[in-house]
């Protein structure tokens, strides 16, 4: 089976990118391979992680574009230049529009730190604590034009402890993100998942 070429979009520290790179190094990401990293912000730690792994990286600075559509068009050109089969949003803090997503149905995925559809958007752990839930977690999902509204691929649950702060809860959820995202990418690359409408099934 030919490797699935993965391009990872980042905005910050890149710990989820690192989880993908680590999984590839051990063979756990197979048949996927990370061929490129693109950040919308220069100088972030994620770019250093890419360089350390020998993965080509680019910056498409959203501040250099007049509007979201022109940024997404530039981002799409860079993704296509890498020959991506799958695009993974790993801490990418921009909402993608139809300009980017057109023709990429079921080829763009995101990791979000809640059990969607609960707590979409930013500061999901803060939302969980404010609502008093006893369980939260993380979700890998397909990306559509909405805000964390795409079909759910995989989820992992994390208990919310009485003494939790936003930071402590975030740290425990992140552990599960680092496990869940590489596993989901490997499953997608290997064709082990099948989507019917908004439901995603594991192939028999």
pLDDT bin (cut points 50, 70, 90) of residue 41 is: very high
Mean pLDDT on 90-115: 95
Q: Is residue 37 part of a domain?
A: yes
Q: Is the pLDDT of residue 128 over 80?
A: yes
Q: Which residues lie below 8 Å from residue 171, measured CB to CB, with a gap of 6+?
A: none
**pLDDT for residue 203:** 84
Residue 203 domain flag: no
Q: How many structural domains comprise the chain?
A: 1
State mean pLDDT over 178-189: 98
Residue 165 inside a domain? The answer is: yes
**Residue 60 resides in a domain:** yes
What's the rounded mean pLDDT across residues 119-128? 97
* Rg, C-alpha atoms of the chain: 16
Give per-residue pLDDT as tens, 188-198.
999 999 999 89
- Per-residue pLDDT averaged across 18-35, rounded? 98
Tokens 């028999």 appear where? Answer: 204
pTM: 0.96
The answer to the question of residue 200 being in a domain is no
Tell me the pLDDT band of 105, cut-offs 50, 70 and 90: confident
202 found inside a domain: no
- What pLDDT, on a 0 to 100 scale, did the predictor assign at position 1? 66
Cis peptide bond upstream of 117, omega within 30: yes
Arithmetic mean of pLDDT, 163-180: 98
Mean pLDDT throughout 113-129? 97
Q: What is the pLDDT of residue 2?
A: 86
Q: What are phi and psi of 76, to 5 degrees?
A: -60, -40
Residues labelled as active-site residues: 112
Mean pLDDT along residues 64-77 = 96
Please name the residues in contact with 172: beta carbons below 8 A apart, sequence gap of 6 or more: 158
Q: What are 81-95's pLDDT values in tens digits?
A: 999 999 999 999 999
CATH number of residue 190's parent domain: 3.40.50.170
Question: Looking at 30-34, 103-107, 186-190, which range is the least confident one?
Answer: 103-107
Residues in the chain: 204
| pLDDT exceeds cutoff 80 at 204 | no
What domain range is 147 assigned to?
A: 4-194
What is the average pLDDT score of the chain?
96
**Whole-number Å distance between alpha carbons of 137 and 176:** 8
Span 54-62, average pLDDT: 98
Whether 68 has a pLDDT exceeding 70, the answer reads yes
């Amino acid at each position: 089976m030919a490797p699935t070429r993965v391009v990872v979009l980042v905005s910050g520290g890149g710990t989820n990118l690192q989880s993908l790179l680590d999984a590839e190094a051990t063979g756990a990401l197979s048949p996927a391979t990370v061929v490129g990293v693109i950040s919308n912000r220069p100088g972030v730690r994620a770019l250093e992680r890419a360089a350390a792994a020998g993965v080509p990286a680019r910056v498409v600075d959203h501040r250099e574009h007049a509007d979201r559509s022109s940024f997404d068009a530039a981002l799409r050109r860079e993704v296509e230049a890498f020959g991506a089969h799958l695009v993974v949003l790993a801490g990418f803090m921009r909402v993608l529009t139809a300009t980017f997503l057109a023709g990429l149905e079921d080829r763009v995925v995101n990791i979000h730190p809640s059990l969607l559809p609960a707590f979409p958007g930013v500061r999901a752990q803060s939302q969980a604590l404010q609502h008093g839930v006893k369980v939260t977690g993380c979700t890998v999902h397909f990306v559509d034009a909405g805000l964390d509204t795409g079909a759910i691929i995989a989820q992992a649950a994390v208990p919310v402890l009485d003494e939790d702060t936003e930071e402590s809860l975030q740290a425990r959820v992140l552990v599960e993100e680092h496990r869940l995202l590489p596993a989901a990418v490997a499953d997608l690359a290997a064709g082990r998942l099948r989507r019917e409408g908004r439901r995603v099934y594991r192939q028999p």
